[in-house]
Structure 1
Amino acid sequence: MSPQQKALILLEKQGKFEVGSRSIPSPGPGQLLVKVQSAALNPVDYKIQELGIFVEQYPAVLGMDIAGIVQEVGPGVGNFSKGDNVLAHCEFSNDMAAFQQYTLTDASFTAKIPSHQSFDSAATVPLGLDTAVTGLYGEHFGAGITPPWSKIGGDNQSKEPIVIIGGSSSVGAYAIQLARLSGFYPIIATASPSNEKLVKSYGATHFFDRNLSGNQLKAAISKVTDSPIRIVYDAISLPETQHIGWELLAENGTLILTLPATVKEDEGKGRKAIPTYGAPHVPQNQELCRGSWAMVEHWLSEGTIQPNKFEILPNGLEGIIGGLERMKNGEVSGTKLVAHPQDTQ
């Protein structure tokens, strides 16, 4: 019989979570088996439970973000060894999901953790960073800007403004940091006033209260820059924030969204609204995300990319259930919730 592990299992579509047992999988070609030390929560996790989206097979294990220790290396993997501390972006697949004590990862979307970073901080990176990457640089799910790690990238957007709505969210925080890497200026971000210092620490050059109306925000931004705003990254993407972002956009500009578009593209002005999709595993994103994942260890080591602030949930996998409820109720701001699967009783 295969060795067993504890996992947080969604028993049926739109059903309840329960801690149970399942087999520890073995890595195939290009894969690693990782002992999960830290698993971060994301809004998509409660939306899967609530709306029944993305997952077809039940019982299901959810969770996208992990950090842990490599236990086994699959065939064809040359850049990782047993005992390496790593972070990785998981998949909608029970053997490759985060909310369990051991999971498989794709070596292409796994990176080593620098010695000065903890498992908890590293676990906050994968989905948020990938969503920011695909939104800004993706040809299919984004604005198609040249990535800063490509040979012709770097300062290509120099002195162009960008607006990031929801700068204290996980995706917003990484979008700000990537905008800085791409040479945008000014980098204008909105968030709650209590998160102003945090948002500026990520690299926002100008901060505005998220409660400003569209007209108030437009007037405030006009005092910062008279350049046309061709990129707005709406990391919140509720109908009201999409409307504000749409109003800020110049002709032929792009509004990047993390949820389906509620604004309508208008051919007269050529503005586009593009819902991004931050999964590195889908064919449209694989090449782009291989490029960004090759940079993750370096970025974290140099401090170029700062992980999110985090809060540790108690009671191992069991604690995830209450954490997802808090996120659903809007009780978490500027902070990533992180669970320790190995602490499960």
Structure 2
Amino acid sequence: MSPQQKALLLPKKQGDFEIGSRSIPSPGAGELLVKIHSAALNPVDYKIKDMGLFVTDYPAVVGMDIAGIVEEVGEGVDNFRKGDRVFIEHIVIHIPFQIPSSESFDSAATVPLGLDTALVGLYGNHFGAGLTPPWAKSVGESKKPIVILGGSSSVGSYAIQLARLSGFYPIITTASPSNEELVRKYGATHFFDRNLSGKQLKAAISKITDSPIGIVYDAISLPETQSVGWELLANNGTLVLTLAGSVKEDEGKGRKVISTFGVPHTPQNVELCSSSWAVVEKWLLEGAIKPNKYEVLPNGLEGIIGGLERMKLGQVSGTKLVAHPQETQ
């Protein structure tokens, strides 16, 4: 019998999570096996459970963001070795990052999906606005305004930081008033209450800049936030969403709606995400990109169930929830 490990399993489509056992996988060619020390939660985790999204084979282990130690190296991998500290989006993976010595497993686990989603949404040619990434030779966004709705969310916080690195100004964001200091720390130059209507927000922004808003990144992407973003967007602008669009593109004004998809293994994203590897590690080491603020959940895998419920009920704000699977009783 192959070696077993405890796992949080989704036994069937739209079922309830339960603690069970699962065989420890072996890495194939070009893959790493990572022993998880920290796993961060994302809204997509409970949406997979509640809505039956993405997963087709059950029982399934869901979850995207992990940090840990390389346990085994697959054939053909020469840039990682057993014992390396890495953070990535899956348990047997193709696209890992080295964890800088300045970061813990917990802080590193908050990075992968949020940063990839922000990065693809801004710079992807298929699932994004197609902007020039800041590691390219020429950065053409200097002194252009950008609006990021939901700046204290994980994706929003990384979108703010990338906008800063791309030279956008002003960087305008919305969040709860309690998170104003947090989003300013990430690099937002102007903050507004997330409860403002589209008309109120547009009037407030007009006092900051008279430049057209060519990019709105809606990190929340509920129908009501999409409507606000659409109202702010200039002719020929792009509204980037993290969920499916509920607003309609209008050919007369040339405004576009793009639903981003931040998985680096997707063929359309491989080139962009691959080119970001070395620079992301450098940014983290230098502090140019700061991981999310986080809260560690108790009780290992069991704690994830309650954490996802808190997220679903809107009880988590400006903080990433992180679990330690190895603490499961």
Q: Given residue 182 of structure 2, which amino acid in structure 1 is its aligned partner?
A: L
Q: Give ranges in structure 1 of 5+ residues lacking alignment.
A: 91-102
Give the structure 2 partner of residue 206 of structure 1. 190
Q: Per-residue deviation at 1:209?
A: 0.6
| Residues 184-230 of structure 1 deviation map (CA, whole Å, 9 limit, x = unaligned) | 00000000000000000000011011111111100110011000010
Give the structure 1 partner of residue 13 of structure 2. 13
2:102 corresponds to 1:116: yes
Aligned-partner Cα distance in 1 for 2:280–2:88? 10
Q: Given residue 112 of structure 1, which amino acid in structure 2 is its aligned partner?
A: Q
The more displaced of 143-152 and 182-191 is 143-152
Q: Per-residue deviation at 1:295?
A: 2.0
The more displaced of 291-300 and 66-75 is 291-300
2:133 corresponds to 1:136: no
Select which of 244, 268, 272 maps to 2:228: 244
Give the structure 2 partner of residue 93 of structure 1. none
| Residues 294-339 of structure 1 deviation map (CA, whole Å, 9 limit, x = unaligned) | 3221111000110000001111111101111111111100000000
Select which of 182, 205, 217 maps to 1:233: 217
Q: Per-residue deviation at 1:151?
A: 2.9
Aligned-partner Cα distance in 2 for 1:14–1:274? 28
Q: Given residue 171 of structure 1, which amino acid in structure 2 is its aligned partner?
A: V
Aligned-partner Cα distance in 2 for 1:277–1:164? 17
Aligned-partner Cα distance in 1 for 2:26–2:278? 24
Q: Given residue 280 of structure 1, which amino acid in structure 2 is its aligned partner?
A: P
Aligned-partner Cα distance in 1 for 2:136–2:96? 19
Q: Per-residue deviation at 1:293?
A: 2.3
Q: Secondary structure at the match of 1:81?
A: coil
Aligned-partner Cα distance in 2 for 1:166–1:86? 28
Matches within 5 A, 1:35-114: 35-90=35-90, 103-106=91-94, 109-114=95-100
Give the structure 1 partner of residue 293 of structure 2. 309
Q: Given residue 111 of structure 1, which amino acid in structure 2 is its aligned partner?
A: F
| Residues 30-61 of structure 1 deviation map (CA, whole Å, 9 limit, x = unaligned) | 11111100000000000000000110011000
Select which of 240, 259, 279 maps to 1:275: 259
Aligned-partner Cα distance in 1 for 2:283–2:19? 35
Give the structure 1 partner of residue 141 of structure 2. 157
Q: Secondary structure at the match of 1:255?
A: strand
Aligned-partner Cα distance in 2 for 1:119–1:29? 26
Aligned-partner Cα distance in 1 for 2:281–2:124? 21
Q: Secondary structure at the match of 1:61?
A: coil
Aligned-partner Cα distance in 1 for 2:208–2:78? 49
Q: Secondary structure at the match of 1:317?
A: helix
Q: Per-residue deviation at 1:139?
A: 0.6
The more displaced of 23-32 and 288-297 is 288-297
Select which of 258, 283, 292 maps to 1:299: 283
| Residues 96-127 of structure 1 deviation map (CA, whole Å, 9 limit, x = unaligned) | xxxxxxx3121xx2111111100000000000
Q: Secondary structure at the match of 2:87?
A: strand
Q: Give ranges in structure 2 of 5+ residues lacking alignment.
A: none
Q: Given residue 210 of structure 2, which amino acid in structure 1 is its aligned partner?
A: D
Give the structure 1 partner of residue 23 of structure 2. 23
Q: Per-residue deviation at 1:279?
A: 0.6
Q: Secondary structure at the match of 2:300?
A: coil
Work out the number of aligned pairs and report it: 329
Q: Secondary structure at the match of 2:304?
A: helix
Q: Per-residue deviation at 1:150?
A: 2.1
Aligned-partner Cα distance in 2 for 1:110–1:186? 33
Aligned-partner Cα distance in 2 for 1:245–1:293? 30
Q: Given residue 19 of structure 1, which amino acid in structure 2 is its aligned partner?
A: I
Q: Per-residue deviation at 1:162?
A: 0.2
Aligned-partner Cα distance in 2 for 1:105–1:340? 19
Give the structure 1 partner of residue 170 of structure 2. 186
Select which of 303, 307, 328 maps to 1:319: 303
Q: CA RMSD in A?
A: 0.8
Runs of 4+ that moved beyond 6 A: none
Instruction: Give TM-score, length-normalised by structure 2.
Output: 0.99
